[in-house]
Amino acid sequence: MLTEIVRPLVRTQIRLLANSTSTRQTLVQMIGRWLSYLGVEAQVIQLESNCDQIQVALRVKKPQSCDGTDWQKIIDHIGNDGNIASNDSSNGLTYDKIPAKQQVKLQRLLAYMIQVEQPDSEMDWDRVLPLLESLELDPELVLGIRSALKIPQSLDLLVEGLEPDVAAIALEKAVGIALLDRRVNPEEDRALSILLEAMKRSA
């Protein structure tokens, strides 16, 4: 299921990159975000085009799940002391460019993903906020999600009239939320499948 979601999502991201006016910054953010889903904190420190290829250099921190001794062994084995200046960048989510009604749908869709992540647990905003911050969401989107979490959400109603480009943004963030606990439960799987179908409506 995850492969079926990721591959079309990558194709959509490629289209967004091709039409972006800030391709370099968007790609830098995209690489860091996708690696973060795997529990790897990485920063792009060099990005260049070379004929028909893109060359990327990364600075990677020790993953949280990695043993410190193992990580030090990796560092020692690589033995590379070279330093490259980093490229600092800000959030590339185009939330402000989404129509207002679609913004509300996005807020409520992501709220739904949080609600079904742990359906038997009471919603704890102090637990949820750091998770959302790790996805680098627009502050206004985070506020909208917080409001939407106060009431139950209907996935089927939310995807009605959902624009394919907004579905693509929602799917990317929904994958991130679903993978925060390193597992995908049945309700999350259903939501990702429905968002994938909504995204595919963009021919």
Q: What was the pLDDT predicted at 86?
A: 37
Determine the Cα angle at 180 with ends 130 and 69, to 5°.
95
Tell me the C-alpha distance between 161 and 71, whole Å: 48
CA-nearest of 80, 79, 62 to 71 is: 62
Q: Does any domain span residue 165?
A: yes
Count of structural domains within the chain: 2
Domain end marker among 17, 51, 78: 78
Question: Same domain, yes or no, for 72 and 99?
Answer: no
In this structure, are 104 and 184 located in the same domain? yes
Tokens 């799940």 found at? 65
Together in a domain, 126 and 185: yes
Residue numbers of the domain that contains 99? 95-199
Please give, one letter per residue, the 3-state secondary structure of 147-201: HHCCCCCCHHHHHCCCCHHHHHHHHHHHHHHHHHHCCCCHHHHHHHHHHHHHHCC
**Domain shared by 128 and 50, yes or no:** no
203 pLDDT exceeds 60? no
Is the pLDDT at 35 greater than 60, yes or no?
yes
Question: What is the pTM assigned to this prediction?
Answer: 0.60
Q: What is the DSSP letter of 35?
A: H
Q: Can you tell me the mean pLDDT for 40-53? A: 84
Residue 68: inside a domain, yes or no?
yes
Whether residue 193 sits in one domain with residue 99 = yes
Q: Are residues 109 and 161 in the same domain?
A: yes
The pLDDT of 176-192, averaged and rounded, is 83
Question: Of 78, 106, 129, which residue is a domain's last?
Answer: 78
| Gap between the Cα atoms of 115 and 109, Å rounded | 10
Which tens digits make up the pLDDT trace of 66-118? 778 878 877 887 774 444 333 333 333 468 888 899 999 999 999 999 998 87
What's residue 93's pLDDT? 40
Whether the Cβ atoms of residue 106 and residue 158 lie closer than 8 Å to each other: no
Residue 1 has pLDDT above 60, yes or no: no
